[in-house]
Structure 1
Amino acid sequence: MIHRLQVTCVSGPWLDDKCVRFIDFPDTGNLYDLHIAIQDSVGFDDEYDFYYFMGISHVSTGIMIPEGLEPEIYEIDTDIYEDIDAMKFLKPGSKESLYYVFMSEGDDWHFKIQATGKKIEPVDGELYPLVQESLSQGPNPEQYGSGFDDFAEDADHFRPMRTSGQGMDDADPFFDDLDDDDDFFERRFVDEADDFCCGSGYSDDDDD
């Protein structure tokens, strides 16, 4: 049997709009499957650790899942969730809700997960969990903050380094030693490091 779940993003560092998603979830699904489905539903990168808890609200942690878990970023063995069935924590009309917390280096993202009570016969050939995009309410939250995606896609922010071989009189001769096939990001890193050191006001006189 397939259960329809409602997932609501209730808190996050850059949560600006209502964000509700619906996921059709199988009886046999585990909490790791649910993690992947939630990430997919909001377009997040699976970059950080996560954990679950049961509670009345996202600010009043009740029971950690598994019990006794003390979440610290990068230190959670998230593979444990492959062995924990999800649906036993999801009962329609329950006073407590299941919360999914996606950790980050800043603030954490909190998602409230509820069983709607609607059960659906599985569709042949369909893979579950399945995000019902047609039922989504609100845009995806911006995982890395407002405008980051536009910044990252703007070619003006990622310019190749200039060398004397490119006809630049003010080029740094250091870059003449770099081959054309040198990694782009390595060249960018060296240039930024040079700007940081040499543009910071440091001089040989500071050592005297």
Structure 2
Amino acid sequence: MLITLSVRLESGMYAHHDWGCELDIDDQASLHDLHLAIQQAVHFDNDHLYAFFISRKTQGAERQLFDGEEFSHGASIASLFPLPAGKKLFYWFDFGDDWIFQVGKSRKRPKDAGPDAPYPRVSGESGTRPVQYEGYDPHAEPEW
């Protein structure tokens, strides 16, 4: 079954605007699959470490961190929900630039995948998508 997740940018080195999307994804997908789907949705290069954590807020010592191979490649997204009362799921990408996204389950009902539609896919988007490396031009000549 497909579920719809809401993904909202919370913070990051170049997070100057609000951004969010709705992401349709198989409820049996792993957190690693979700990581790849968010990377595709936000148009980032998949070139840094990442983790997921459950917490009341983005900062603080009470984070329940999921960064091991066993969890990120084994457990399904469906197994996380419902989250404990008052807790939220966060995706943390690039521990230097600290891109943090809140991930929540939409109230939309789960649905069957369409026969021709590729999943996961972005089914809605709002705000201004962030730029991963602001001011960086990969085609520019080095200034040596």
**TM interval, short-chain normalised:** 0.7 to 0.9
5+ residue gaps, structure 1: 67-76, 159-187, 193-208
Assess, with a 3 A threshold, how the Cα gap between structure 1 residues 79 and 114 changes in structure 2: closer, same or farther: same
Contact 1:6/1:116 (8 A) holds in 2: yes
The answer on 1:87 being equivalent to 2:88 is no
Quote the Cα distance in structure 1 between the aligned partners of 2:3 and 2:30: 13
Q: If each structure's strand is expressed as a fraction of its own residues, which one has the higher value?
A: 2
Query: Hey, what does 1:62 align to over in structure 2?
Result: 63
Letter in 2 for 1:107: D
Instruction: Give distance in 2, aligned partners of 1:94 and 1:127.
Output: 33
Number of equivalences = 142
* CA 1:95–1:80: 2 relative to 1, 3 Å: closer
Q: Computing the radius of gyration over CA atoms, which structure comes out larger, 1 or 2?
A: 1
SS of residue in 2 equivalent to 1:82: helix
Please, which of 110, 117, 122 is the counterpart of residue 126 of structure 1? Answer: 117
Partner of 2:26: 26
Give, as a single letter, the amino acid of the residue that structure 1 aligns with 2:30. Answer: N
Bigger proportion of residues as helix: 1
Alignment TM-score, normalising by the size of structure 1: 0.61
Which residue identity does 2:9 align to in structure 1?
Answer: C
Could you say if the C-alpha distance between residues 49 and 79 of structure 1 is closer, same or farther in structure 2, counting changes exceeding 3 Å? farther
- Aligned residue in 1 for 2:37: 37
Structure 2 unaligned spans of 5+: none
Distance in 2 (CA, whole Å) between partners of 1:2 and 1:94 is: 24
Contact 1:32 1:81 in 2 (8 A): yes
Q: Deviations over 1:93-124 (max 9, x none)?
A: 952111110024x3311010000121223111
SS at 2:4's partner residue?
A: strand
Between the aligned partners of 1:64 and 1:93, the Cα distance in structure 2 is 14
Give percent identity, aligned residues only: 25
**Partner Cα distance (1:29, 1:79) in 2:** 14
> TM-score when scaled to structure 2?
0.86
Give the one of 102, 109, 116 matched to 2:99: 109
Higher relative contact order (CA 8 A, sep 6+): 2
Say if 1:93 and 1:2 are closer, same or farther in 2 by CA, change over 3 A: farther
